[in-house]
Amino acid sequence: MLIEWQTRDMKDWQADAIIFFSFEKSEEPLPGFKRWMEGSAPWISGSQALQDFKGKHQEVAVYYGPADCEIPRLIAVGLGPADKFELDKLRSAAAGAFRKCRELQISRPALPLAAFEGLPLDRATALRESLIGGICGLYRYDALKTRDVDAYTSLETLLLLHDAAPDDTLRAVPIEADAVASGISFARDLVNAPANRVTPTLLADSARRLAEDHGFHIQVLSYEMAQILGMEAFTAVARGSREPAWVIILEHRPPGTENDAPFVFIGKGITFDTGGISIKPSANMEAMKQDMAGAASVLGAFDILGKLKVPRRVVAILPCTENMPDGKAYKPGDVIRSLAGLTIEVISTDAEGRMILCDALAYSLRLEPALIVDMATLTGACLIALGKEVAGLMGNHEGLTRKIQDLGREVGEKFWPLPLWDFYFDYIKSEAADFKNVGDRTAGTIIGGIFLKQFVPDKIPWAHLDIAGTAWTDKDLGVAPKGATGFGVRLLVELAQRGFETSGNQGLKSQ
């Protein structure tokens, strides 16, 4: 979809339709909406039809004017009550408006900056979040369909209406919004695609294409190379599959940042998870194609970092493999030596995510990182504890976990902190090795975090994001249609853009 500016007096605006927002039960329209109706749309100003519109959140109404009008359609979208307004509601309202335009096959709708007058936001923020929400709401995955495919998969052009030339800040907003939405779609495409197409090799090829497009540095370690390095936890999981396994190391290193301590983002890349020898029930196992959502979100974030030329050194480490049952597969009762030298007693081969992540964490220490964030669909327990719209957040540094919560709240990605107190280690004590890879059925999400914590020194700020519930949605969320959500992409980008200072912040205290 093209995004174009149209800068002229309000009375001279031209478009196939115009989008405005309204609060619920408001006595008057928002100021910009009111000005447009009074000055340019006498056909709607006194209409009884407009009185029927209540402004409920995501309520969409279309009003038609005379055929010779410069803008013959008004699309009104509800934001809900003014005292409960938040950015998420603006994003989903914009998604509803954009979808209505697609449904009506409107090729050149318009979003005026005047639509944001009266909202408790600056114009640049309102415009950016409306565009990201609207474009993300249009997303569809139909790459493998051969019939019943809607030809109108996207709008042709979106006009941004303003009565003066936009300043540099406003002019940059559509570019940023398009890059962000594109990166989220990149991640969604990978997660939505079936596992016979999205293999570890395809993830490696996708990373290579990003490296070529954006000038990233890339290294892809084969199974044999990982074995030589001593990544036995990773290769233990990988040896049950006939698909080649890879550890992808992708680096965004803008000029002048070569010697900076990098931010390291680690993503779990299990492209299909049967559970291995500890095999999962067959019901709903097809959903396990989404077990590489952590890696997909990191790749989507890197697409955005490259497009926006974010001036920070960032490294991705993506361990990618299938988890399959086979004569060579690792077994319950095996003791595996990790890259860190710590030994792990395998209780469940279905706790494979932490096995591959621990070697990625150990490898990341060679980079002397400023911070580490790992993202993984790690535990079904997180889904039980927090539901499908909130991700689990654990770490060793209170400042970093607070930063992630704050940034997530801004971009519509909710995180809730869980403790990693030292006594939780008792749950995974082992008589055969340094520790086990699972405990009993209690505190499952925390036990995944406490396992990973063993591989990160306290001096390095680290956060673990369990996105098991949020990576996929079975209902339409407005900005995220059914399927992969791309959750976590924006959080990683915002963290890289804004940075994080460790001085003055204290690590989380053990109890």
DSSP one-letter string for 107-168: SSEEEEGGGGTTSSS-HHHHHHHHHHHHHHHT----TT--SS--S--S-SEEEEEESS---H
Backbone CA torsion sign across 120, 124, 127, 129: negative
Rounded Cα distance between 443 and 400, Å, is: 22
Backbone CA torsion sign across 404, 405, 410, 414: positive
* HSE-up (13 A, CA, CB side) for residue 128: 18
Residue bearing tokens 């944001």: 116
Single-letter residue type at 31:
P
Helix (H), strand (E) at residue 328 = none
What is each CA distance from 35 to 64, 170, 368, in whole angstroms?
18, 22, 57
Rounded Cα distance between 108 and 122, Å, is: 25
**Which letter does DSSP use for residue 508 in this model?**
P
Residue bearing tokens 């959750």: 487
Give the phi and the psi of residue 416 in degrees, each rounded to 5.
-125, 130
Q: What residues are labeled active site?
A: 280, 354
